[in-house]
Structure 1
């Protein structure tokens, strides 16, 4: 019976000591307050999203959050589609800015 009381008192002393060590005596915190992990630099709001924005985007990790591999796959696909879209837009803008004479005769008007 004495062993039981000794172990119980030892357990209380250890728990109290760990608690005081973590709390830090009340004047100075041993464990400083930390801001929750959030996306520090999200996607830009003032300009269109480009491939580099997606490559640099990092989402916060949570213990019971998303599956990182799946999100990375989606971001990779999104980045590739944005790059393809940007290339197509640049191609169309370049074709539109060329003079009509440089494109050759217009065969739809009967010039043969």
Structure 2
């Protein structure tokens, strides 16, 4: 009886395996197209916080798809570099405006008037 159950179990497992793998032209599990990044980051405007919150990267069997992750990271890196350059420009313009304002303070002082600056 033991041998009969063992052989029956092997036959059932083999049949299920052939069915799943596809023992012919008609496969039970057809090939699925790989997931693609369906909602990429906007190209016509800077990336915002809401864009990053809504971003969902497609998953592959070994994790995230490297091409999509690299594309997102490259875009974010370029935008951060652009923002850093803009901030540096604005800070230097502000420093120049402050230096100019400091140099012209004496224009607003009246002659003979004491100031506590």
Q: What TM-score do you get using the length of structure 1 for normalisation?
A: 0.44
Higher relative contact order (Cα pairs below 8 Å, separated by 6+ residues)? 1
Q: What TM-score do you get using the length of structure 2 for normalisation?
A: 0.43
